Chains A and B, each alone.
Chain A
């Protein structure tokens, strides 16, 4: 080999290493989230924009909500989770009991503008002094009605349970139910009723100790039974007859045979999009007899967290900042994750007229409503299984309300002690 060729090879190697160094400053990241088609499309477009803005390439990993937690958990156990992870807020407490499960975002205040959230918004994601994620939006469970169904029947949308019972008398002969409480929604409603009756969160603050009595739960179940008996909602047996589908996939929902339901306001599109008849309007919380408050649960609907195993957490923080705090990215994402929690996110969408009145009203109703502080424990799979099983046994007539109340207190107590 000649001296010339050796020099040429060395020059090439040097040039290659310079190129490699300059590319390394632009990170290759992964981001995982759950959602529907609208969210998937919007997020990928926003990520494309953020790649041009930050120089970091982000590989998207997305799916529906079903199975997301299972996948994320196995990834977390194997330390293979994406750099940027969309996490449902209660899961933070499963993955990060001591606050060390995710990167502490306070460390990246230079990359991620945390001043866009106030202290009360960030507080639920702080565990043991470490900020495990930033809230993407804030949500609460409230009532929504299909206005067209009520208008056609010459009715106002219900403002009380008595209105609902009266609506049932008029709508039932046409095969229409004024409301629905199937599966997860039934569980959410029974929890809200029990909170209204007791005036308490279901665990004593800061503990794993159940704060609802058997009477509180029995009262909630009796109200559900009253709804079934008065034709307000379908019986559990009829709901099960559709098969394992959520209400928004139920043909009865899309075809306008059900007049409304109870859900997290951040998931509005999921329920409104399948409607072939009418659209959903939010309503103030309905209180059952003896309610001590509105019983509306509020929580960060989801947070963006950074993996503690991320090779480039600073780059990840820059991408999150772009998605949630950059005006152009905010406009691309729109309301695909509900009403933004970040101040600039909310004002940008409002200024551009991207938020529908239904979205804004729903968020206002949730913000104005009184309710218990949401404990993440209520969404733990073991706790939810107890609610689901006992409510089902009651709904199928295998337990009286009192027996179900006793059983739920026993089983919840046991489940909570194991957490």
Chain B
């Protein structure tokens, strides 16, 4: 390619690069700088070194509570969502009549799921006199105080996230369809039952996709905001007070931008460490095409 041609390519990507620089890179680095200051909106900023980080990690009880709730939320949500997405992908991989419709229908919640309107709908469904309790009482069970109980409040937020399994499901579905059918035929000839075939063929061949979905879903779960903000406002007793909600309230209710930036960077560090652990562990459980391991 001539020099002019290369320059042309650069011009094509320039709008994206400008967007990346202005809307991502500069705010990203700006927040890192702010995390070392006591900057409050409407007031000046002074450099205070690691003071924000020291406060967060040693004396901020709200952070500790919020961090624990966030970890619990991620630990429950991510495996459940992956398992559910794989289960549905398995069903949608079969040759049923009108399967295209079902595949689309199951993807719809992922398009709607993160929206404010669905979070509001969720709030009405799980309210004390909502649809879920109406169904429960109509079949003889007692109504449950979903939002008033710290244990069940987090469960309702988790369900909202689980409901948005579509994107993970589509990726699983594509991976399932790429598995060579002759492997199953060979296993069947050898007398393998479907469960044995699933664990010996399907699951190992899906591990790269499971790994990809694990990372993506984990990052998304750590960023969950709409559900707790709309449905419970982090309550009761901060049982649904996830870290993004804490960052938002610190930044836009108390206007303590320096401290909020520091919490955001702690969250970033947590996500990064867990991602690195996942990458390190992947050597032991992820099998790629052409892998020589037995």
Query: Which of A's residues lie within 8 Å of B, judged by CB?
Result: 69-70, 73-74, 76-77, 94-95, 101, 236-245, 251, 381-382, 385, 389, 392-393, 396, 398
**Which A residues touch B153, using CB under 8 A?**
240
- Residue B1 lies at the interface, judged by CB distance under 8 Å to chain A: no
B145 and A244 contact, CB distance less than 8 A: no
A244 and B148 contact, CB distance less than 8 A: no
**Which A residues touch B252, using CB under 8 A?**
70, 73-74
Query: Among B11-19, B86-94, B123-131, which stretch is in contact with chain A?
Result: B123-131
B236 and A381 contact, CB distance less than 8 A: no
Q: Please, how many angstroms separate the alpha-carbon atoms of A385 and B256 in the complex?
A: 14
**Which B residues touch A95, using CB under 8 A?**
42
Task: Count B-side interface residues using an 8 Å CB cutoff.
Answer: 27
B128 and A242 contact, CB distance less than 8 A: yes
**Which A residues touch B184, using CB under 8 A?**
none
* Distance of B97 from chain A, by nearest CB (Å): 40
- Residue B235 lies at the interface, judged by CB distance under 8 Å to chain A: yes
25 interchain pairs, CB-CB under 8 A: A70-B253, A73-B41, A74-B41, A76-B42, A77-B42, A94-B42, A101-B42, A237-B145, A237-B236, A239-B148, A240-B145, A240-B153, A240-B232, A241-B127, A241-B146, A242-B127, A243-B126, A243-B147, A243-B232, A244-B123, A244-B232, A244-B235, A392-B235, A396-B236, A396-B237
Q: Please, how many angstroms separate the alpha-carbon atoms of A385 and B62 in the complex?
A: 11
- Residue B209 lies at the interface, judged by CB distance under 8 Å to chain A: no
Query: From B252, which residue of chain A is reached at the shortest CB distance?
Result: A70
- Residue B149 lies at the interface, judged by CB distance under 8 Å to chain A: yes
Contact of A382 among B233, B235, B254 (CB under 8 A): B254
Per DSSP, chain A at the interface is helix
**Which A residues touch B149, using CB under 8 A?**
237
B128 and A73 contact, CB distance less than 8 A: no
- Residue B230 lies at the interface, judged by CB distance under 8 Å to chain A: yes
Q: Please, how many angstroms separate the alpha-carbon atoms of A146 and B212 in the complex?
A: 58
Query: From B144, which residue of chain A is reached at the shortest CB distance?
Result: A241
**Which B residues touch A398, using CB under 8 A?**
237
Contact of A245 among B42, B123, B145 (CB under 8 A): B123
- Residue B221 lies at the interface, judged by CB distance under 8 Å to chain A: no
Contact of B148 among A70, A237, A385, A389 (CB under 8 A): A237
Q: Please, how many angstroms separate the alpha-carbon atoms of A396 and B41 in the complex?
A: 34
* Contact status of A241 and B253, CB under 8 A, knowing A95-B42, A251-B129, A396-B237: no
- Residue B74 lies at the interface, judged by CB distance under 8 Å to chain A: no
* Distance of B158 from chain A, by nearest CB (Å): 16
Q: Please, how many angstroms separate the alpha-carbon atoms of A238 and B232 in the complex?
A: 13
Q: Please, how many angstroms separate the alpha-carbon atoms of A402 and B126 in the complex?
A: 34
Q: Please, how many angstroms separate the alpha-carbon atoms of A245 and B120 in the complex?
A: 10
Provide the B201-236 mask, 1 if CB < 8 A to any CB of A, else 0. 000000000000000000000000000001111011
Q: Please, how many angstroms separate the alpha-carbon atoms of A393 and B149 in the complex?
A: 13
Query: From B153, which residue of chain A is reached at the shortest CB distance?
Result: A240
B255 and A73 contact, CB distance less than 8 A: yes
* Distance of A416 from chain B, by nearest CB (Å): 13
* Distance of A250 from chain B, by nearest CB (Å): 9
Provide the B23-48 mask, 1 if CB < 8 A to any CB of A, else 0. 00000000000000000011000000
B235 and A243 contact, CB distance less than 8 A: no
**Which A residues touch B253, using CB under 8 A?**
69-70, 381, 385
A243 and B237 contact, CB distance less than 8 A: no
* Contact status of A238 and B145, CB under 8 A, knowing A244-B231, A244-B232: yes
Q: Please, how many angstroms separate the alpha-carbon atoms of A101 and B127 in the complex?
A: 43
